[in-house]
């Protein structure tokens, strides 16, 4: 009891020095509070950001790995066997039945949807939207087409291959459900006239076209259009326009130069059902050179479901030649870049503040003990044990430290949210500036990619109800939903990244507990100086020197 009373009297008596210590500790505590709050907010964002958001996953062939494996057996510098490469890649493509198999293999799959996209050519009565009349002819060069590639221009081939892949004038995309339509590759669009096609066989031949394409060909709802097979212009398909849509995220520019394909223009996208493609013999299972490209997506409840799905499909026999990926997960991780940078900065700041603070407190405590050397000599001379004297110094420092810690936590709590968000905004601005600099290095604003922001699918499997009334306005989004607190910017290659631009860096019991431990650590560390010096002092020598 004597030690406690004496320690409290000393705290009251040495107000100037203790106030200085309180201020230093408060500054340390405030900085530590902000730093710990930022790191906790970053951890929470990483762990829970996709826990309440549906995640869309796809399975794709790892072509780079496959090509690398095939080339490993050839001598360096020799010409690759292009035909063999194409045949191998083509044979490795998954079929619709394979995708369905993996969907059934995992209980994490909450729904699925898919689309199939084929190329078709213009006819004399139906022309694509383009600025030049020079387009690829509707016939192919001699030689068989390999694989299922229907898009692109000249494929690199070996000597005498003579293979030319046709891209056509229109992309004819069939969807399995409204969910698939809502995630259209071209992004958001709105129905301006008519209705969306049906998905059953009774609706075969129904299509919707863009307003630009309808205006270019002077078409209206109910009109018939005719498109041709990309390999044989004499083979035509008759389709019925049941709706006209407007691309809300369409850009008037395209990738490529004058030799680009008209089918790459979003205005020349014709949307229909998978059933229609099958009836035309253009679906992915047709086995023809004009067969559609298949894009299959799995809808999962959250990121944990996605990680479980990856494990389940491997157990179900998915070869290592394939990779499971999720654009939602990738884009969310990209959105965390500024926050991760801020978290690293907060850790660095925290370590610097604690290091400097510890040095300052040790120095102040060292001077304190030296100034009170005579007091130590008197106490030990009258019979007070050195351990109790040292304990008095520790208690004094603990009282002062806890007062400063309380003030620092209060200040940090009040400023942690605005300060952290301001620092995060600076990090986001830095990332955007870096991307802008990359654009300038290319000398232009690179085009392409979706302009609808991060793709965050919130849909589930099965069909969604669509507006069927004539002349109604049915809005369909392209799977692009913005998450709260995120700021978008475009990369040099047109891919949108929505950065997390605000966090709720509030102080909770976990942060308070960590701060108390930090305060105790600083107290013990700086008090060790007092303990060491007190234990080394000899009372008689101190009093003799004083006299």
Rounded Cα distance between 363 and 367, Å, is: 6
- Look at residue 460 in the predicted model and tell me its pLDDT: 37
- In angstroms, the CA 176 to CA 202 distance is 14
Q: Tell me if 456 sits within 8 A of 478, measured CB to CB.
A: no
Residue 238 belongs to some domain of the structure: yes
Distance CA 238, CA 257 (A): 31
Domain count across the chain = 2
Residues 248 and 386 in one domain: no
pLDDT of residue 209: 95
Tell me: do 118 and 38 sit in the same domain.
no
Asked whether residue 467 is assigned to any structural domain, the reply reads no
pLDDT value of residue 382: 77
Q: Domain check: are 71 and 98 in the same one?
A: yes
- Contact, 305 vs 108, CB < 8 A? yes
Query: Are 279 and 407 within one domain?
Result: no
pLDDT truncated to tens, each residue of the chain (547 aa)?
A: 667 777 777 777 777 777 888 888 888 888 888 888 888 877 777 777 777 788 899 998 887 777 777 776 666 656 666 777 777 677 778 889 999 999 999 999 999 999 999 999 999 999 998 766 544 444 333 333 333 333 333 333 333 333 334 578 999 999 999 989 988 888 778 899 999 999 999 999 999 999 999 999 999 999 999 999 988 888 999 999 999 999 876 544 444 444 457 778 888 999 999 999 999 999 888 777 778 889 999 999 888 899 999 999 999 999 888 889 988 888 888 777 887 888 888 888 888 888 888 888 888 877 777 777 777 777 777 777 777 877 777 888 888 888 888 898 888 888 877 877 777 777 777 777 776 776 666 554 544 443 333 333 333 333 333 333 333 333 333 333 333 344 444 444 444 556 665 666 667 788 888 888 888 888 888 777 767 766 666 666 666 666 5
Residue 262 belongs to a domain: yes
Cα(458)–Cα(301) distance, integer angstroms: 9
Q: Which residues contact 179 (CB under 8 A, 6 or more apart)?
A: 111, 113, 299, 459, 460, 461, 462, 463, 464
Sequence-separated (6 or more) residues with CB below 8 Å from residue 500: 45, 49, 335, 336, 338, 339, 424, 483, 485, 486
Query: Does one domain contain both 260 and 311?
Result: yes
3-state secondary structure of 28: helix
Please tell me the predicted confidence (pLDDT) of residue 357.
83
Q: Which of 328, 352, 373 is the last residue of a domain?
A: 328
What Å distances lie between residue 511 and 46, 303, 508, CA to CA?
Answer: 18, 26, 5
What SS3 state is found at 165?
Answer: coil
- Domain membership of residue 439 (yes or no) is yes
Domain with 352, as residue range(s), is 2-49+337-443+506-546
Q: Are strands 170-175 and 269-273 parallel, antiparallel or unpaired?
A: parallel
Residues 359 and 396 in one domain: yes
Domain edge (last residue) among 328, 362, 397: 328
Domain boundary at 299, 328, 357, which?
A: 328
């Amino acid at each position: 009891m004597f030690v406690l009373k004496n320690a409290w009297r000393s705290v009251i008596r040495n107000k100037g020095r203790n106030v200085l210590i309180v201020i230093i500790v408060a500054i340390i505590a405030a900085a530590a509070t902000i730093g710990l709050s930022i790191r906790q907010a970053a951890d929470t964002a990483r762990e829970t950001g996709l826990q309440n958001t549906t995640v869309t996953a796809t399975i794709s062939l790892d072509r780079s790995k496959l090509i690398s494996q095939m080339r490993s057996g050839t001598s360096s510098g020799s010409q690759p066997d292009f035909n063999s490469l194409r045949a191998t890649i083509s044979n490795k493509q998954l079929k619709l039945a394979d995708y369905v198999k993996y969907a059934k293999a995992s209980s994490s799959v909450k729904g699925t949807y898919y689309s199939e996209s084929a190329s078709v050519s213009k006819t004399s009565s139906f022309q694509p939207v383009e600025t030049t009349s020079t387009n690829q002819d509707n016939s192919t060069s001699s030689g068989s087409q390999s694989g299922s590639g229907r898009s692109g221009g000249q494929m690199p081939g070996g000597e005498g291959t003579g293979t030319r892949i046709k891209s056509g004038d229109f992309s004819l995309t069939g969807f399995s459900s409204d969910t698939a339509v809502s995630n259209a590759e071209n992004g958001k669009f709105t129905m301006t006239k008519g209705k969306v096609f049906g998905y059953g066989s009774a609706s075969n031949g129904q299509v919707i076209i863009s307003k630009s394409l309808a205006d270019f060909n002077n078409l209206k709802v109910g009109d018939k259009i005719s498109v041709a097979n990309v390999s044989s212009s004499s083979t035509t398909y008759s389709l019925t326009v049941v709706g006209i849509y407007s691309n809300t995220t369409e850009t008037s520019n395209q990738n490529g130069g004058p030799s680009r394909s008209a089918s790459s223009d979003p205005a020349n996208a014709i949307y229909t059902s998978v059933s229609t493609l099958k009836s035309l013999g253009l679906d992915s299972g047709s086995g023809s050179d004009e067969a559609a490209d298949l894009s299959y997506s799995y809808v999962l409840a959250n990121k944990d479901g996605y990680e479980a799905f990856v494990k389940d499909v491997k157990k179900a026999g998915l070869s290592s030649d394939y990779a499971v990926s999720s654009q939602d997960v990738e884009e969310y991780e990209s959105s965390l870049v500024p926050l991760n940078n801020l978290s690293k900065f907060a850790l660095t700041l925290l370590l610097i503040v604690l290091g400097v603070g510890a040095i300052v407190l040790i120095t102040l405590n060292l001077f304190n003990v030296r100034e009170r050397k005579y007091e130590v000599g008197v106490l030990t001379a009258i019979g007070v044990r050195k351990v109790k004297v040292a304990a008095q110094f520790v208690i004094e420092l603990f009282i002062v430290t806890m007062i400063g810690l309380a003030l620092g936590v209060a200040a940090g709590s009040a400023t942690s949210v605005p300060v952290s968000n301001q620092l995060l905004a600076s990090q986001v601005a830095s990332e955007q500036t870096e991307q802008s600099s990359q654009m300038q290095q290319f000398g232009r604003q690179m085009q392409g990619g979706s302009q609808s922001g991060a793709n965050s699918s919130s849909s589930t499997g099965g069909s969604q109800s669509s507006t069927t009334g004539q002349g109604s306005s049915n809005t369909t989004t392209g799977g692009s939903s913005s998450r709260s607190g995120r700021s978008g910017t475009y990369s040099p290659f047109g891919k949108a990244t929505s950065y997390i631009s605000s966090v709720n860096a509030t102080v909770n019991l976990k942060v308070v507990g960590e701060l108390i431990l930090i305060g105790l650590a600083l107290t013990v560390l700086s008090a060790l100086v007092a303990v060491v010096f007190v234990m080394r002092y000899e009372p008689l020598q101190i009093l003799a020197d004083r006299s």
